[in-house]
Amino acid sequence: MSEYFSNIKTATTTIATGLSITFRHFLNAVKRKGDAGIDDADYFKQVDGLCTLQYPREAVPTPALGRYRLYNNIDDCIGCMQCERACPVECITIETIKATADDLAACGKTSGGQQKRMWVPVFDIDVAKCMTCGICMSVCPTDCLVHSPVADFSEFDVRNMLYHYGNLSKIEAEAKRKKLDEEKAAKEKAAAEAAARGEAPAAKPAPKPKPAPAAKPEEGVAGE
C-alpha cells in the first residue's frame, strides 16, 4: 500500500517537473539560443531559446579552411594539367591548345606574372564526382584551382553538376587550333627546306628518344 502511494507521489512530482521544463522552454521561445561556439566558455549555459535556422535565409557559415565546391580561376590557369593527373576520381577534364608565338601577348600573364603558353578551351569539373580531397588544389602551380566556401549547390539535373571553366568558345578554339597547325606546318616546311639546303638541323631531333641518362637508372625510375 505504501508503494501505491509512493508511486502516486513519484508520478505527481515527475509530471510537475516535466511540465515546468516544457513551460520554461515555451516562455523562452521569444529569444534565440545564443550562437556561442563549442569553444566558448558559456556554451553549455545557453540551454533555452529557439535553435531553428531558417536555412536559405540564415546559415551557419562554412569553416574558413573548409573544402566545398571547386572553383577554377581560369585567368590564372596555365593549362599544365597537373590537377587532371592528380585527381583520384577523374573529375577534371582539360583540353589545351598551345598558343602561337604571335598570340602570347593575347594569351596574357597570370596574376603572379607568369607567361601563359596555353589556351584552355575545355576545363570541366564534374562536382558530382568530386570528393573534395583537395589534391588538385595542392598540386596547382598558380593556385588558381581552389575549394570555394559554397556548400549548397544541389541541382535537379545531374548534368548541371558539370561546371565549365574553359576560356575559349568552340569557334575560337577551332580558330586557334587551325592557327597552331598552320604555324607548325610553316615550321616543318622551313625545317624541310633547311634540311634540303644541307644544313644541320639534326641537332634538334637528336635528344627526342631520350635514352641519354641511362647511366643514372634510379633517377629515371623516379622521373617516371
Partner 1 sequence: MSQSLSLNTWSEALSGFHLGWFPLGLVIVAAVPLVFIALYALTYGVYGERKISAFMQDRLGPMEVGKWGILQTLADILKLLQKEDIVPTAADKFLFVIGPLVMFVGSFLAFAVLPFGPAFIGADLNVGLFYAVGIVALEVVGILASGWGSNNKWALYGAVRSVAQIVSYEIPASIALLCGAMMAGSLSMQQFCVLQSGPGGFLHFYLFTNPIAWLAFLIYFIASLAETNRAPFDIPEAESELVAGFFTEYTGMKFAMFFLAEYGSMFMVSAILSIVFLGGWASPLPNFGTVALNDWTSGPVWGAFWIIIKGFFFIFVQMWLRWTLPRLRVDQLMYLCWKVLTPFAFIAFVLTAVWEIYK
The binding site for partner 1 (CB under 8 A) comprises 4, 8, 15, 18-19, 21-23, 25-26, 28-29, 33, 48-52, 54
Nearer to partner 1, 18 or 220 (CB): 18
Q: Are 136 and 86 in contact (CB under 8 A)?
A: yes
Q: Are 31 and 52 in contact (CB under 8 A)?
A: no
User: Dihedral of the CA atoms 115, 120, 125, 131 (nearest 10)?
Assistant: -40
Q: CA geometry: angle at 45 spanning 41 and 46, to 5°?
A: 110
Tell which residue, 164, 95, 92, has the closest CA to residue 130. Answer: 92
**What are the residues whose beta carbons fall under 8 Å from the beta carbon of 148, sequence distance 6 or more?**
68, 69, 70, 71
Q: CA geometry: angle at 180 spanning 203 and 174, to 5°?
A: 155
